[in-house]
Structure 1
Amino acid sequence: MPINRTPPTSPHPLTSVAGTDEPATTLLCFESTLHQCASAPNLSADSNITERKKRKFDGAVSNSSEKINRTMFAAFSNKQESYYEDLMSKMNSIIEQNVELKKSVEMMSEKYDEFLSRITTLEAEKREDRKLIQQLEDKIELLERSTRATGIEIRNVPKTEGETKDDLCGLVMNLGQSLNLDFTQTDLKDVHRFKTKGNSSPIHVNFTSVIAKEKVMNGIKTFNKNKDKSEKLNTTHLKIKHVKQPVYISECLTYKTQKLYYLARTQHKNYGYSFCWTSRGVVYLRKKTGDPQIRVNSEADFEKLRCSNSI
């Protein structure tokens, strides 16, 4: 079914040029338009068709956008400036702290060097003082030995009631007779009993000479040699009749020598030594008969003996 199109009303009437056979202009234009609408699909390609164009608001929109951009940039710049100032403030604070820390470290380093130097000096002084103390102890030990060189100790002798110095001198004289020694009371410088707990505290005898003391010590060794335990020196040889018990006599030793002698007697077998004795205030050890004697001067010598035996 054909479509009937109504042509638009023309504002101007159809006219023709007078004296000519040409059709009216408006009619030609209208027919041309109809021809184009029916045959040409791309209407925008025809230059005779009028187009509706958008209006551009260049002035107002551009100014508003520029103002917004400037405002945002100014706010961003202010924010960055504030952030930068805060960052610089913190950086300056850190730099100041690092400077102070560096000064503190340098000061501590100087103090450490000073303390190290003082400690080194004190250690050197300590070593010198230790040497001096050892020398003084050795001198004191020699002085004590010299003062006790003429003395002996008699142990395990019961104390009698009302005992006097004359009674003690009589015990020493009886000892000399049992040992076949010819000495008198003039050979005695002093006799006294130590004040200790118990009924048989040691008796200290001090002779006038080392020779007299050595005679007694040698006489005791000869007397006890090759005798049974019950026949060795006891209280009956001192003419104490009511009780019979062994009597022990030794040199009067210093405190240091007593300690060394005790350690030597308790440990000499562990080190492989069979003999242990004292002579003139000195402790000696010997492994077996015929071997050389070893002098013990300090506790460090026991460690040396242990190391030598472990090799």
Structure 2
Amino acid sequence: MENSWGCCSVVSACEEHLDCSYCKKKFHLSCLDAADINDSNSSTPWLCYQCSVRSYSATSATTPCHMHTAARPLKRQALNSPPNTEQSASISEIQNIVESTIKIQVENLITQLHTKIRSIVSTELKSIVDDIRDMKNSLEYMHSQVETISKENCESRSKITELQKQNTILKTTVDDLKHQINILQQNSRANNVEIQCIPENRNENIVEVVQQIAKVINCKINPENISHCTRVAKVNRQNSRPRAIIVQFNGTKTRDEFLAASNFNRKKPVDKKLNTSHLGFAEPASPIFVVEHLSPSNKNLHAAARSAAKEKGYKYVWVRRGRIYMRKGDDSDYIIIKDLSCLNGLK
């Protein structure tokens, strides 16, 4: 009978099987599970799964039958059973499932990676932002310091400019004061003469020496005409020349007469000019010079004028009333030397 098998479509009467007591269909033992086989060994009539369900629904729970609540797998398809709607998954479906699973996992990994990166970047950026904030504060502080320094620099420049102006004024004032002091110093020497190269003697009488010189140059000088007479210290102590004698007369007229007579004496022959032998000093005789008593500034200027005259070929250099004159030749005009700048301009 075609429909006598209820388990699968394979008809094999030789294979061990069970008969359902209700629907009379046959079921291979290989198509049944262990629970069904164990139920067949009991004294209760054996029912297949479908008959057990129908019997349980038609009667009650007291109906002696075996009930299965879960579908059991069949090895082979039962005869005349409805077609199985479940189909095995194809390779493309498996690939889609795998790809979707991988995609989901990748998306999860990407999300986790983004979260991790965001956390790391946020932590690092926080330190960078703090550093930038500190740098900004430092730059603002430095900017304020630069502005302060720039302001102070401008003020310092203004002060320096003002100080330079004041320095120029002070320099001019100092030069004027030096000139005025020099004039005062020279005026205080208006009655003085300086006698150089007279040998020194511990027991000497300078006034008598001056009177002896006056006799030699034919200038009448009385003791009352001499207000003061003394030797002065050397500027350069290494110089072997004797200390000069400064003679202060009681008037400018007497001083001028003494200077004029001594200058006239210089026009005499060399052996007749004023020398130490005229004063009774032992040989060899050395010349004696009588000059105006110059202030320190004028004395330095006179020395510089004499050096410049030798260098540039000027024939005459002389002093009159504290002023220094130069002349290049007998036919040339004289030049008044007021300061060192006048010497720098000589030709």
| TM score, norm. by length of structure 2 | 0.67
The match for 1:104 is 145
Give matches, 1:123-272, under 5 Å: 123-163=164-204, 167-195=205-233, 200-225=242-267, 227-238=268-279, 240=280, 242-243=282-283, 244-272=285-313
Distance 1:118 1:129 in 2: 16
Distance 1:64 1:233 in 2: 131
Work out whether residues 159 and 199 of structure 1, in 8 Å CA contact, stay in contact via their aligned partners in 2.
Answer: no
Q: Which has the larger radius of gyration?
A: 2
Work out whether residues 179 and 223 of structure 1, in 8 Å CA contact, stay in contact via their aligned partners in 2.
Answer: yes
The match for 1:33 is none
Shift of 1:62: 4.6
* Residues 64 and 203 of structure 1, relative CA distance in 2, 3 Å threshold: closer
Distance 2:336 2:164 in 1: 31
SS at match of 2:345: helix
SS at match of 2:179: helix
Kindly indicate whether residue 120 of structure 2 is the aligned counterpart of residue 83 of structure 1.
no
| TM score, norm. by length of structure 1 | 0.74
The match for 2:135 is 94
Work out whether residues 285 and 294 of structure 1, in 8 Å CA contact, stay in contact via their aligned partners in 2.
Answer: yes
Shift of 1:82: 2.6
> C-alpha deviations, 1:276-304, integer Å up to 9, x for none?
11111122111111322111122222222
- The residue type paired with residue 282 of structure 2 is H
Distance 2:281 2:133 in 1: 104
> C-alpha deviations, 1:183-236, integer Å up to 9, x for none?
3222211122235576832221111111111111111221221x3322211123
Shift of 1:129: 1.4
The match for 1:53 is 90
SS at match of 1:292: coil
Greater CA deviation, 51-60 or 290-299? 51-60
Distance 1:89 1:83 in 2: 10
Shift of 1:113: 0.7
- The residue type paired with residue 174 of structure 2 is I
Gaps of 5+ in 1: 1-10, 13-50
Distance 1:201 1:212 in 2: 23
Distance 1:61 1:117 in 2: 79
Distance 1:75 1:302 in 2: 92
* Residues 76 and 160 of structure 1, relative CA distance in 2, 3 Å threshold: closer
Gaps of 5+ in 2: 1-9, 12-87
* Residues 65 and 215 of structure 1, relative CA distance in 2, 3 Å threshold: same
The match for 2:158 is 117
Distance 2:195 2:220 in 1: 19
Shift of 1:88: 2.4
The match for 1:300 is 341
Work out whether residues 190 and 207 of structure 1, in 8 Å CA contact, stay in contact via their aligned partners in 2.
Answer: yes
Shift of 1:241: 5.0
Distance 1:287 1:203 in 2: 31
- The residue type paired with residue 141 of structure 1 is N
Work out whether residues 141 and 254 of structure 1, in 8 Å CA contact, stay in contact via their aligned partners in 2.
Answer: yes
Give the counterpart of 2:319 among 278, 290, 300.
278
Distance 1:170 1:220 in 2: 17
* Residues 237 and 72 of structure 1, relative CA distance in 2, 3 Å threshold: same
SS at match of 1:268: helix
Displacement over 4 Å in runs of 4+: 58-62, 195-199
The match for 2:48 is none
Distance 1:82 1:195 in 2: 90
Distance 1:52 1:179 in 2: 156
* Residues 171 and 69 of structure 1, relative CA distance in 2, 3 Å threshold: closer
* Residues 66 and 304 of structure 1, relative CA distance in 2, 3 Å threshold: same
Distance 2:241 2:110 in 1: 118
Distance 1:70 1:294 in 2: 106
Distance 2:155 2:327 in 1: 53
CA RMSD of aligned residues (A): 2.7
* Residues 182 and 69 of structure 1, relative CA distance in 2, 3 Å threshold: closer
Greater CA deviation, 198-207 or 68-77? 198-207
